[in-house]
Amino acid sequence: MQALFTTRRPCQTNARFSRFALRAAFTLVEVLLVLAILAAIAAMVVPDLLSRQNKAQKDSVMISIKATEQALKMYAIDHAGQWPKPEQAIDILMNNPGSDPQWSGPYLESEPLDPWGFVLRCRRMSPDQALLQVYSVGPDGKEASADDVMDSRSDRSKRQAKR
């Protein structure tokens, strides 16, 4: 009868509990395996996300460029086809230079910024044309570098010249 009602000694209970606890925990190899799998997944996903971010930034700057070009066209319409000087173009679209009775702006509500925080710039498409090209200096902020963003329709200046 005594065998049926045996009580366990405290040290046996703790020993069994600690063995059970060890079986329920993850081993170092299992943890490292999970980390390796997560690293592999991240290596596949992160480049795709970065390329999508770059594309979104370029799409955003193209929208800003086209809006600024439209504002320049409205300015030119108000001024009988005369385009502003490239170095003054962005400022003139927002602020009346003072003595311009034909100015009916503001043509832009705020300074057009690219996604990298730089103000869009203007330049003549060719020295003999009055038409301006709006562009962004890109992420590096340097003029005439490989990452500059502009309207890729290179034949646009040719179409304007034929008119």
pLDDT at 24 over 90: no
**What pLDDT was estimated at residue 85?**
86
pLDDT at 159 over 50: no
Q: What is the average pLDDT across 135-146? A: 84
Q: What is the average pLDDT across 50-54? A: 82
Cα–Cα distance measured from residue 72 to residue 98, given in angstroms and rounded to the nearest whole number: 18
- Sheet-wide strand order for 149-150: 121-124, 132-136, 149-150
**What pLDDT was estimated at residue 150?**
80
The residues that bridge with 149 in the sheet, in sequence order, are: 136
User: In sequence order, which residues have a C-beta less than 8 Å from that of residue 112 and are 6 or more positions away?
Assistant: 64, 65, 67, 68, 90, 119, 120, 134
**What structural domains does the chain harbor?**
10-162 (3.30.700.10)
